[in-house]
Amino acid sequence: MAGDKSISHRALILSAMATGSSRITGLLEGTDVLATASVMQQMGAQIQRLGDGIWQVTGVGPAGLRSPEAALDFGNSGTGARLVMGVVAGAGISAEFTGDASLSARPMARVTNPLALMGAQITANEKTTLPLRLAGPPMAMPIDYVSPVASAQVKSAILLAGVNAPGQTIVRETPITRDHSENMLRLFGATVDSQMQGDQHIVTLTGEAQLRATNIDVPGDPSSAAFPMVAALCVPGSDVVLKNIMLNPQRDGLIRVLRDMGGDIEICDERRQAGERVADLRVRYSQLKAVEVAADIAPSMIDEYPALAMAAACAEGTTYMAGLHELRVKESDRLSAIADGLRANGVTVEEGEDSLSVSGCGQARVAGGGTVESRHDHRIAMSFLVLGLTSAAPIGVDDTSMIETSFPTFFSLMEELGVSFER
Ligand code: S3P
């Protein structure tokens, strides 16, 4: 399975900030991550591709980053843009942040607000969207921040800004979000404490951290695995093994929900890699049944709702998903993109402000026959291609080019499983 996108971004960023040379294997070579590699290079890190997924990064050490001459272009990547805002804020340098049309419509105030508290100066439009300029103070101030949104990107930006700050930078979040930044900061030698107090997750980073180069073997991306996984559950006769999938507890919500729906997903050969739990997954065709998906599981499967909605369309009964407000501000408004695409293919859907009900077709197949607007959103494109594997009539997707951002091997992997796409 292609390398995890979240871990790939963080591996490049932290190795570029560290002292010494790090070797990264299994790096996801999607355009989102390649954009992060190139902006870290613009700020002074030496980054070299040695082979397929194998990269060497020589970092600049504490306070070694320099202000880039040209604007930093993050393409479609919210993770890259938001995490690097934290890096720039903490490095005492300044940079202009730009991105494509989808990224330029996404909210950045959630990150610039706490970074301003740490001393950063932000020059932006009224909506605080890209393009914007961020100038870090000579020395960032540590903060104790209660995050108003459950977002790993916000938490990570603050922690990255806190690496060079004197004292302890604290982020409090409810509920807990993916903790890859905490795990990887520890791998690079930083002191990061993480504890639950009731339902609040409190992360404390000790500043003026001496990051030291380390080697990272990036595990497979569960968010990409979601597509062949749902395909295998929905296409009669399937029996597929997906190798080397990361099962971080803040990323495995989809597997839990699909199992509740009756999905036959076996977790085999559990092991640890790059500080994360990893396993192979054996997935077999299953007659899925509708479930209610509670809001509190959302952070552990926030990118997987498009894939889950396709499984729900194939299940018996009506699946209700709550707590989906964050889907409105992803690479597209995913709630409306899912609802429109399903309706165009004969599935009954109810779209609430932050919820979705999908009436599954069960034994009868999804009608299909519609063309889906992917809205420049990789996960919308892949989801409907997967639904098209089981629909009575084929499903068209208007543009699949964005799949390159997160899962460049999607087509070849699906073809290996026996799928043929008409292009
Ligand atoms: C990510 C966090 C999530 C997720 C994104 C990757 C990360 O975003 O949707 O694809 O790597 O930190 P939010 O922090 O906005 O929830």
Instruction: Give pLDDT tens digits for 221-250.
Output: 999 999 999 999 999 999 999 999 999 999
For residue range 122-136, what is the model confidence (pLDDT) as tens digits?
999 999 999 999 999
Tell me: pLDDT of 179 over 90: yes
Largest CA distance in the chain: 63
Look at residue 274 and tell me whether its pLDDT is greater than 90.
no
- Amino acid code (one letter) for 52: D
Three-point CA angle 31, 35, 36, nearest 5°: 120
Interhelix angle for 334-343 vs 378-387, to 10°?
30
For 303-314, the pLDDT digits (tens) are: 999 999 999 999
Q: Which two tokens stand for residue 314?
A: 């194939």
User: pLDDT at position 320, please?
Assistant: 98
Atom 10 of ligand 1 has which residue's CA nearest to it? 303
Return the H-helix or E-strand segment holding 339.
helix 334-343
Q: Within 10 A of 284 (CB to CB), how many other CB atoms are there?
A: 14
| DSSP code, position 37 | H
CATH (one of 4.10.490.10, 1.10.8.80, 3.65.10.10, 2.40.50.100) for 5-216: 3.65.10.10
Query: pLDDT per residue over 39-74, tens digit each?
Result: 999 999 999 999 999 999 999 998 899 999 999 999
Q: What is the pLDDT of residues 309-363, one digit of tens each?
A: 999 999 999 999 999 999 999 999 999 999 999 999 999 999 999 999 999 999 8
**Please, which pLDDT band fits residue 139 given cuts at 50, 70 and 90?**
very high
Atom of ligand 1 nearest to the CA of 154: 14
**Where in 59-117 does DSSP place strands (E)?**
72-73, 94-98
- Residue 151 CA to ligand 1 center (angstroms) comes to 6
Catalytic (active site) residue 4: no
> How many whole angstroms from its chain centre is CA 163?
22
**Range 302-318 burial, b when 16+ CB lie within 10 A, else e:** bbbbbbbbbbbbbbbeb
Question: 277: how many CB neighbours lie within 10 A of its CB?
Answer: 17
pLDDT digits (tens, 9 = 90+) for 357-412: 999 999 899 999 999 999 999 999 999 999 999 999 999 999 999 999 999 999 99
Q: How far is the CA of 153 from the centre of ligand 1 (A)?
A: 5
pLDDT of residue 252: 97
Which helix (H) or strand (E) element contains residue 382? helix 378-387
- Predicted local confidence at residue 101, as pLDDT: 95
Residues 174/151, Cβ–Cβ less than 8 Å = no
Q: Residue 195: enclosing H or E segment and its boundaries?
A: strand 192-197
Token couple for 414: 């699906």
Residue ranges, comma separated, of all CATH 3.65.10.10 domains in the chain are 5-216, 222-416
Q: Report the separation in Å between the CA atom of 418 and the middle of ligand 1, taken as the mean of its atom positions.
A: 31
Q: What ligand 1 atom has the least distance to the C-alpha of 10?
A: 11
Q: Contact 377/340 with Cβ under 8 angstroms?
A: no
Please answer whether residues 221 and 302 qualify as being in contact, where contact means their C-beta atoms are separated by less than 8 angstroms: no
pLDDT bucket at 423, cuts 50 / 70 / 90: confident
The three-state secondary structure class of 296 is: helix
Cα 142 to Cα 134: distance, rounded to the nearest angstrom: 17
Q: What is the mean pLDDT of the chain?
A: 97
Task: Give the whole-number percent of the chain exceeding pLDDT 90.
Answer: 98
- Give the position, in ligand 1's atom list, of the atom nearest the Cα of 153: 14
CATH number for the domain whose boundaries are 222-416: 3.65.10.10
DSSP 330: S
What's the pLDDT at 263?
98
Per-residue model confidence as pLDDT tens digits over 180-204:
999 999 999 999 999 999 999 999 9
For the chain, percent of residues with pLDDT exceeding 70: 100
DSSP reduced 3-state for 337: helix
Give the per-residue pLDDT at 275: 83
Ligand 1 centroid, distance to 404 Cα (angstroms): 18
Q: Nearest CA to 273 among 4, 31, 58? A: 4
R_g of the chain computed on alpha carbons: 21
Residue 30 DSSP code: S
Which of these, 123, 78, 59, 132, lies nearest to 303 by C-alpha position?
A: 78
Tell me which residue of 94, 46, 91, 89 sits closest to 68, measured CA to CA: 94
Asked if residue 97 lies in contact with residue 72, where contact means CB atoms within 8 angstroms, the answer is: yes
Q: Which of 179, 303, 340, 377 is catalytic?
A: 303
